[in-house]
């Protein structure tokens, strides 16, 4: 019996496009780029105003007690679009974008936004309630209800606290205790309602991280090199916010 066989043909190995697509997807961070671009735009627009006009914008967008008690609920969101003076913005913006990028890589855009808003809105409302009680009880002067209160610090600290879920289990107590200790030190040194808000936002973030751990919704992954760099930069931002 003669067995006919087809001539040997070299087969070209098929290269999966999945890794390439995966790398490109990891570079697509819509929440980070969108929010970062909006902050840069607002910062540039505010920077060209006169000092008095800048002050008016800050007070109009502030989540101070006066605005909230007079129904200016929009300040809960507009306050997160203002960072401060130009020098502060130049320092904070690059650090913030690195923090947001790491959070979006690890949590995804939707969860990033939810955690940020939980810290920003939760801390703002808790601080406002505390100020209202203190003013009504005459523990604090009425002038504090007009204080300027804008920025990205509450949401940022909530994200840093939520990174608890990304830490190896043996490092989680250290992560939580360290940030709580630094936040308490910030309260002791600054003695302002903003410092209290930072402590509250860190606590909210840690609670979110603990909930993610308990619910099993996020499985910690080993940090890649670029993510370690982003985490280090986020840590610098957190320390600057709390005690800077």
pLDDT in tens, 132-159: 999 999 899 988 988 888 889 999 999 9
Q: First-to-last CA distance in the chain?
A: 88
pLDDT the model gives residue 10? 40
The span from the CA of 45 to the CA of 39, in Å, is 10
pLDDT the model gives residue 80? 92
The span from the CA of 118 to the CA of 157, in Å, is 11
* Whether the Cβ atoms of residue 233 and residue 100 lie closer than 8 Å to each other: no
The span from the CA of 165 to the CA of 183, in Å, is 19
For residue 241, pLDDT over 90 is answered with yes
Q: What is the pTM of this model?
A: 0.86
Taking the CA of residue 12 as centre, how many other CA atoms within 13 Å lie in the half-sphere pointing to its CB? 3
pLDDT the model gives residue 219? 58
For residue 17, pLDDT over 60 is answered with no
Taking the CA of residue 126 as centre, how many other CA atoms within 13 Å lie in the half-sphere pointing to its CB? 17
3-state secondary structure of 147: coil
* Whether the Cβ atoms of residue 88 and residue 31 lie closer than 8 Å to each other: no
pLDDT the model gives residue 1? 42
Crossing angle of the two packed helices 193-215 and 153-162, in degrees rounded to 10: 30
């Amino acid at each position: 019996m003669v067995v006919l066989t087809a001539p040997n043909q070299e087969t070209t190995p098929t290269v999966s496009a999945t890794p390439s697509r995966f790398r490109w997807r990891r570079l697509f961070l819509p929440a980070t780029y969108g929010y970062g671009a909006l902050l840069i735009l607002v910062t540039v627009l505010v920077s060209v105003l006169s000092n008095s006009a800048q002050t008016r914008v800050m007070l109009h967008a502030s989540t101070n007690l006066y605005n909230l008690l007079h129904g200016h609920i929009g300040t809960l969101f507009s306050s997160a679009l203002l960072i401060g003076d130009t020098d502060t913005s130049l320092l904070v913006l690059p650090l913030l974008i690195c923090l947001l990028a790491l959070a979006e890589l690890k949590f995804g855009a939707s969860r990033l936004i939810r955690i940020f808003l939980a810290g920003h809105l939760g801390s703002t409302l808790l601080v406002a309630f505390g100020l209202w009680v203190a003013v009504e009880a005459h523990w604090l002067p009425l002038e504090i209800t007009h204080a300027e209160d804008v920025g990205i610090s509450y949401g940022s600290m909530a994200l840093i606290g939520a990174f608890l879920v990304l830490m190896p289990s043996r490092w989680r107590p250290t992560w939580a205790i360290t940030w709580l200790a630094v936040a308490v030190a910030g309260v002791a040194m600054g003695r302002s309602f903003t410092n209290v808000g930072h402590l509250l936002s860190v606590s909210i973030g840690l609670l979110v991280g603990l909930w993610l751990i308990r619910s099993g919704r996020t499985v910690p992954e080993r940090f890649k090199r670029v993510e370690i760099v982003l985490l280090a930069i986020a840590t610098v931002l957190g320390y600057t916010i709390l005690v800077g």
